[in-house]
Chain A
């Protein structure tokens, strides 16, 4: 172990690698529940450093795990198999803002919100805005293909990533994609985005910058029933409107947020929707009219258009503080992530409440309703004996209900460790084998973030074994 750390220090700098118990504990998990154990942690400051760290890990016969801020919720950055954890947070420079091409080149450790802030004065922004955007890195966003409220109309991370410099598992470098619109051959950039660190480590990222819209209006809609709110979501889409964002919060979370930030949400509503429309002023006005009409058909009792930027910012602050607000209600939460067809929102939500009820658990829902991306959030006190079993059982049933409704396992958090075993619920053995082939083509060594995404046994003929080092 000492040799490993010494080699890393020799290559990256004496203060850039550690294996003390404190670090190993800090880096044993991400924001999800699975724990693992790292052999060493290092903080490279350049692409060359990353390549060196990968080679050193390999030379010592160890796998490696890329890590940004560790806000991932699926255990993607959780170290499995005694790996070297390679943390990108020191690689946090915006390298170049190319206004002619509306592109920014960034290092992977740049925080999502810092990127948008750095181009704000140019009337540009980076569109994907995960709720964790103050804390998560662009590299982590690329690896999880992160989404956010404003990805409804503008698309998730993959839509906004043009090129990537990556360090592959053998320590070699590759540029995937480019600023030119097409490349000959396969879309390797597209394959890498969302691969959760299992295909290599992104060290430079070219993202598309979007012009700020001339007009932005945000509506707050309050309803007496969750069904009416969910039906309004479908109604808006069916009316031919794809809002910039369309978020839903149920009664419990609305009240928690209101107590926490005082954003002016109706405390007695069964559900609220936050609808943001952007574009040119006339069109936005027309769409506001149309959304109002859909909402009143569904007997919305609050229909408020934010009067100014301050009110709009406050509404969003409320939405994005949901997780902070929960800490005031219960010490622990388990946040789920699944997608259902938008037309199934009403009945799936009913099932979510029923499942939680059967397990005597409290569930709250705050989610990206416009694209059917549910985030059922189970709140509990982990000190209660036996509670984890109930939480896990309820989570599994919720996920099953989503899949049965024609949904998928994850909309934005990824599979990581958390949902590997559920992959066969939606993919056949042949489907998983094909995914394994793609992964292995990028990383024939299997050293890049092993045992993530695909369950053991995904490769045809591969023996099924219990993974080591993962406590789930």
Chain B
């Protein structure tokens, strides 16, 4: 498929088929590239559905791009790169589909400068449990016309609807980009830098990603006494999770994680801590450490017996009402946010 010459008509046909499939199914399991298949609870058996793929519209001068939700991120990135632009969804695995990335809602490592994933989404189109095609948001870079359905969909793990198409904001690619490292503590480094793209800390070394004008990157390297380095590796291990915690608690938490035998890498200033271990027990220990510091751990991979979130959903009643408003019978991707599924006793057979 040539993504720069999309066949919008065929995408429409696919969407119409998807609507039928969703409407007729008793349980709908949206599937992207399965790069984050273990995020959230395990999916239940049901009708697997996929969104179409392809770039629908790309206006480089508007810095906006509309893609079908099944488009692999790497294809989107390639199309944007031809015009010196990017959409910094920053997946770990570039084969991830755009729709899957947004549904999982996990932001990338440049969140410090570029903000969370949800900030890049302008418009969503999704198929509801009843098979209706719904649009929320709008295609322009600024918009307050109506309720923010895009933000509802981001991170909803397919439990509200199946994303079929999204419009995203794009950015000029930075002219220069450099990872660097230092043994100095991350908070000192952060105080000296202006809008670093990322500051990562593993308890020993601070790693920084600087992006922007070449002269600025050079100046920041000098200001922070930073040594150029290779990009860091994510903590390895079959059992992985990410902790969310108030940013000022990251360093204290890190010491606890090390004691618990976890490998970890913290996004300084953001409050995301990536954790990995060889055994499921490591994640359990990391989860306890996170809770002690007021955070929580999302299980991302491995440790199948571990609860995916480990904490009750905040504002449970409100969350339930939102879910029930869109999917009263719980047919959309049951199991992924287990607490939100309607009472199994009332569930349709």
Query: A280-B212, A438-B149 known; A180 and B295 CB under 8 Å?
Result: yes
Beta-carbon contact of B246 and A180 below 8 Å: yes
A423 & B134 in contact (Cβ 8 Å cutoff): no
Determine whether the beta carbon of A410 is less than 8 Å from that of B115: no
**Alpha-carbon separation in the docked complex, A35 to B133 (Å):** 36
B148–A191 contact, CB under 8 A?
A: yes
A435 touches B340 (CB 8 A): no
List, in ascending order, chain A residues with CB within 8 A of B144's CB.
144-145, 147, 156, 194, 410-415
A406-426: which residues lie under 8 A (CB-CB) from chain B? 406-415, 419, 423, 426
Shortest Cβ distance from A408 into B: residue? B138
Does B64 belong to the interface (CB within 8 Å)?
yes
User: Which residues of A have CB within 8 Å of B313?
Assistant: 184-185
Name the contact of A101 in the complex, choosing from B115, B128, B147, B248 (C-beta under 8 A).
Answer: B248
Contact residues, B127-152 vs A (CB, 8 A) = 128, 132-136, 138-149, 151-152
Do residues A283 and B146 form an inter-chain contact, with CB atoms below 8 A? no
Query: Given the known A-B contacts A180-B295, A441-B324, are A186 and B156 also in contact in the complex, defined by CB atoms under 8 Å?
Result: yes
Assuming the contacts A181-B107, A191-B151, asked whether A430 and B134 have C-beta atoms less than 8 A apart, the reply is yes
Q: Does A137 contact B (CB under 8 A)?
A: no
Q: Are A191 and B325 also in contact (CB < 8 A) when A343-B59, A434-B128, A434-B134 are?
A: no
Per-residue 0/1 for A426-467: is the Cβ within 8 Å of any B Cβ (1 yes, 0 no)?
Answer: 111011111101111110100000000110000000000000
Instruction: State which of A185, A280, A340, A437 has its C-beta within 8 Å of the C-beta of B314.
Output: A185
Q: How far is the CA of A214 from the CA of B156 in the complex (A)?
A: 39
A431 touches B135 (CB 8 A): yes
Given the interface pairs A187-B155, A282-B219, A411-B140, the reply to whether A182 lies near B298 with Cβ below 8 Å is: yes
Bound together, the chains give a CA A437 to CA B323 distance in angstroms of 10
Q: Which of A144, A158, A188, A426 contacts B315 (CB 8 A)?
A: A188
A159 vs B114: C-alpha distance when bound (angstroms):
10
Asked if B84 contacts A240 (CB within 8 A), the reply is yes
Verify B136–A435 contact, CB threshold 8 A: yes
Bound complex: CA of A434 vs CA of B215, how far in Å?
Answer: 49
B111 touches A181 (CB 8 A): yes
In whole angstroms, how far apart are the Cα atoms of A144 and B254 in the complex? 39
Provided the pairs A190-B151, A286-B213, A434-B326 are in contact, do residues A181 and B145 lie with their beta carbons within 8 angstroms?
A: no
Asked if A13 lies at the interface with its beta carbon under 8 angstroms from chain B, I say no
In the assembled complex, the CB of A462 is this many whole angstroms from the nearest CB of chain B, namely 14
| A179 and B247 within 8 A (CB) | yes
Contact with A along B293-311 (1 / 0, CB 8 A): 0111010000000000101
> Are A439 and B219 closer than 8 Å at their CB atoms?
no
Q: Which of A1-9, A85-93, A367-375 faces chain B? A: A367-375
Taking a contact as CB atoms under 8 Å apart, the answer to whether B216 and A407 are in contact is no
B215: nearest chain-A partner, CB-CB = A282
Within 8 Å CB of B294, what residues of A? 180
The answer to whether the Cβ of B43 comes within 8 Å of any Cβ in the partner chain is: no
List CB contacts (< 8 Å) of A173-224 with chain B: 174-176, 178-188, 190-191, 193-195, 211, 213-214
Q: Please tell me the size bucket of the interface on A.
A: 35 or more
> Shortest CB–CB separation between residue A348 and chain B, in angstroms?
12
Contact A155 B119 (CB under 8 A): yes
- Assess whether A234 is interfacial by the CB under 8 Å rule: yes
Contact of A279 among B115, B134, B195, B323 (CB under 8 A): B195
Cross-chain contact B321 with A283 (CB below 8 angstroms):
no
Taking a contact as CB atoms closer than 8 A, the residue among A155, A179, A242, A435 that contacts B246 in the complex is A179
* A residues less than 8 Å from B138 (CB atoms): 339, 407-408, 426
Residue of B with least CB distance to A437: B325
* Contacting pair A428 B171 (CB below 8 A): no
B244 interface residue (CB < 8 Å to A) = yes
CB atoms of B309 and A184 under 8 A apart: yes
Does B322 sit at the interface, judged by CB under 8 A? yes
Q: Say yes or no: is A342 at the interface (Cβ < 8 Å to chain B).
A: yes
Chain A residues within an 8 Å CB radius of B151: 158, 187, 190-191
Given contact pairs A182-B242, A413-B144, a sample of 18 additional A-B residue pairs in the complex whose CB atoms are under 8 Å apart = A144-B144, A147-B144, A181-B247, A183-B244, A184-B314, A185-B315, A187-B155, A190-B148, A191-B322, A237-B61, A279-B213, A282-B213, A372-B142, A408-B140, A432-B146, A434-B136, A434-B149, A435-B136
28 pairs across A/B with beta carbons < 8 Å?
A98-B248, A101-B248, A145-B144, A155-B119, A158-B148, A179-B271, A180-B246, A181-B111, A181-B270, A186-B152, A187-B105, A187-B155, A190-B154, A194-B147, A237-B61, A237-B63, A238-B60, A240-B84, A242-B172, A280-B213, A287-B213, A408-B140, A412-B142, A426-B145, A431-B134, A441-B324, A441-B325, A453-B146
